[in-house]
Amino acid sequence: MKCKKCNKEFEEYVIQEKTFANGTKHNAGYCPECGKFLQYVSKGGEDRMYFGKYKGETIKEIAKKDKEYLEWIINEFDGCKESLKKKIKKYI
């Protein structure tokens, strides 16, 4: 992998567990060279939204109550990464 900030190649993230305000916990991946946050790393559990009004909730639960929101994210929101789009598409 390569960090977009320091441009260094690395094999593994530095992982730190983060707790959101709603109590959900996620593993955050950081560059081992410069410490920049890169992405949330799966803990092997269900896929969760890491931003927005449903931050911390499972994508599966969001799809049940607000499928239009997920469709908007994958079709209209420019800040959505391809990896998240793939996860969302599994549920809609």
Q: What is the pLDDT of residue 33?
A: 93
pLDDT tens string 16-32: 888 877 777 788 889 99
Question: CA nearest 62: which of 83, 47, 42?
Answer: 47
For the whole model, what pTM was predicted? 0.55
23 backbone φψ class: left, alpha, beta (φ>0; ψ -120 to 50): left
pLDDT band per the 50, 70, 90 thresholds, residue 44? low
Question: CA nearest 30: which of 49, 59, 10?
Answer: 10
Burial of 65 (0-12, 13-18, 19+ CB in 10 A): exposed
User: Does position 75 have pLDDT exceeding 80, yes or no?
Assistant: yes
Q: At 40, which helix (H) or strand (E)?
A: strand 37-41
Mean pLDDT of 48-77: 90
Greater model confidence, 1 or 65:
65
Mean pLDDT of the chain: 86
pLDDT band per the 50, 70, 90 thresholds, residue 78? confident
Q: What is the pLDDT of residue 46?
A: 72
